[in-house]
């Protein structure tokens, strides 16, 4: 499959515009409203935002970059990212609520759930740090940070459920970037996801799942 490439400057311009717009909104909810939304999020994502491992793994939100969370919730609202549950959940959230939820989960720091095959960690670490030059895959650390804790709109990967990462990377084009006219930083990942084979994805997912 041929990937759709977009200039990084254009992607970042749109991303920061969306994030900045959300941050400019004044709060239009009470503390009770916020607490109710947080409790609702935790029914799927865990009491500490640590994620949930099941038939459909729910991602870790704890420690996530708030800019990234805001951007992705907005992507669900605008149907740029597809997920039947999150599309319905996100569309009722105001811009100020998006920001408040993102800031709440940023401050949580539970231990990773782990659970991935530990023998895959060395290979995953090498991909994360060095990339795969022969497959035109850059080091993951170049965008997600040396500690995998993310940088602004680039998400934290440290401690993320390995089975969640596996599913997302294998199904990237069917879930992300559904409106090419409204790109965000996730567009950078499309060609990378296509260039990784299943064994490589499993390895890097295993490595990331144990990082704190």
Domain count, the chain: 1
Residue 172 lies in a domain: yes
Q: Where are the alpha helices (DSSP H) in 46-94?
A: 66-77, 84-90
CATH number at residue 48: 1.10.760.10
**Sign of the Cα pseudo-torsion (141, 146, 148, 154, in order):** negative
Within-domain flag for 199: yes
Tell whether the model's pLDDT for residue 198 goes beyond 50.
yes
Cα-Cα-Cα-Cα dihedral sign, residues 11, 14, 20, 22: negative
| Residue 25 domain boundaries | 8-209
Residue 77 lies in a domain: yes
- Give the three-class secondary structure for 165: helix
Q: Given this model, what pLDDT does residue 66 score?
A: 97
Return the pLDDT at 27. Answer: 78
For 80-107, how does the pLDDT look when each residue is reduced to its tens digit (9 = 90+)?
999 989 999 999 999 999 999 999 999 9
- Give per-residue pLDDT as tens, 127-156: 999 999 999 999 999 999 999 999 999 999
pTM: 0.85
Quick one: 119 exposed, middle or buried, by C-beta within 10 A (0-12, 13-18, 19+)? exposed
Closest CA to 59 of 79, 83, 35: 83
Residue 115 lies in a domain: yes
Looking at the DSSP bridge assignments, the partners of residue 52 are: 58
Is residue 39 one of the residues assigned to a domain? yes
The answer to whether residue 163 is domain-embedded is yes
Q: Distance (Å, rounded) from C-alpha 14 to C-alpha 71? A: 10
Check pLDDT > 50 for residue 57. yes
């Amino acid at each position: 499959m041929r990937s759709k490439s977009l200039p990084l400057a254009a992607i970042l311009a749109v991303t920061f515009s969306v994030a900045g717009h959300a941050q400019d909104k004044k709060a239009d909810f009470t503390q009770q409203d916020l607490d109710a939304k947080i409790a609702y999020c935790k029914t799927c994502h865990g009491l500490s935002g640590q994620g949930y491992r099941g038939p459909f793994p729910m991602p870790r939100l704890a420690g996530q970059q708030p800019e990234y969370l805001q951007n992705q919730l907005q992507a669900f609202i605008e149907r740029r990212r597809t997920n039947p549950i999150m599309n319905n959940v996100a569309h009722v959230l105001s811009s100020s609520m998006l920001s408040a939820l993102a800031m709440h989960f940023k401050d949580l720091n539970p231990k990773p759930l782990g659970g991935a095959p530990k023998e895959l960690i060395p290979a995953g670490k090498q991909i994360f740090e060095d990339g795969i030059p022969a497959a035109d895959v850059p080091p993951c650390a170049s965008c997600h940070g040396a500690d995998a804790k993310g940088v602004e709109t680039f998400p934290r990967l440290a401690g993320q459920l390995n089975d969640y990462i596996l599913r997302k990377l294998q199904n990237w084009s069917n879930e992300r970037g559904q409106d090419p006219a409204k790109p965000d930083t996730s567009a950078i990942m499309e060609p990378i996801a296509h260039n990784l084979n299943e064994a490589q994805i499993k390895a890097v997912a295993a490595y990331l799942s144990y990082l704190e």
